[in-house]
Amino acid sequence: MSKETAVDHVTQNMETYNRIAEHYHVTATPGLRAWKEESMRRFAAFLPGAHVVVPGCGDGRDSRFLASLALQVTSFDLSDAMLRIARERDPSGTYLKLDFRDMANLRGPFDGIWASGCLYHLTKAEFVRCVTTCRSLLSKAGVLYVSMKEGQGERYEEILGPRYPGGAEARALLQGRRFYAYYERDELLKALDGFALLAEQRVEPAERGFELWLRKIGEAAAQSRQV
């Protein structure tokens, strides 16, 4: 990992997302939305309560659907352009400006964290720290959902893959340099220490990736798994 990547990858990502925000809706294809909405129903069914937080909420599409499931939703993003769109489309929603790395500033506890297609923008070291923060924010038996990219390494990329949601239109409109971290399954599960796996599946209507539903486990259980 170069010093440049470690220092300014978040700034670079935000520059890109601010520039493409008005076109980002093209990724909400019918197939992907149906898939994600089923994943959100599954997430809601696992929850011990109704308070959830949505990191990297983007234009608020998932936040709005989760609210339709009678959940109390707090959302955040670091892109001003994305937040503007989210607030325009959902004036009654709660949308904060916040960095993933500052999640500890949120007022928990939350019964669930819906982190869809966002935490792979952190370096792998940052992701491990973020998982610890997520665990501290969750209530007893709280649920963490993550969707992460499958593969190896971490790097900047500018060209969208052929399975990126939105197809050719997305590839034309959503160009820009973004930082991604890729995981093999065992590597990802190891990083999610302090959680028990509830369910998993590979994402189908998009680029290769994992969907994981996980439940927070107690301190004693977490320590026994480390022995």
**Quick check: 194 and 222 in contact, CB under 8 A?**
yes
Alpha-carbon separation of residue 36 from 43, 94, 137, 156 (angstroms): 10, 21, 24, 26
Q: Stretch 111-121: mean pLDDT, rounded?
A: 97
Q: What is the pLDDT of residues 172-216, one digit of tens each?
A: 888 999 999 999 999 999 999 999 999 999 987 777 899 999 999
Q: What is the pLDDT of residues 140-151, one digit of tens each?
A: 999 999 999 999
Tell me the pTM: 0.91
User: Running DSSP on this structure, what letter comes out for residue 107?
Assistant: -
Residue 213 CA to residue 197 CA, distance in Å, equals 6
In the chain, pLDDT over 70 holds for what percent of residues? 93
Tell me the one-letter amino acid at 191: A
Buried b (16+ CB within 10 A) or exposed e, 99-130: ebeebeebebebbbbbbbbbbbbbbbebbeeb
In this structure, the strands spanning 110-116 and 178-183 are unpaired
Pick one of 3.40.50.10740, 3.40.50.150, 1.10.10.10, 3.40.1710.10 as the CATH number of 3-226: 3.40.50.150
Residue 40 CA to residue 216 CA, distance in Å, equals 18
Residue 150 CA to residue 107 CA, distance in Å, equals 31
| For the chain, domain boundaries | 3-226
pLDDT higher than threshold 60 for residue 6: no
pLDDT of 161: 76
Residue whose C-alpha is closest to residue 120's, from 187, 72, 59: 187
Residue with tokens 């982190």: 115
CA of residue 225 relative to chain centroid, distance? 25
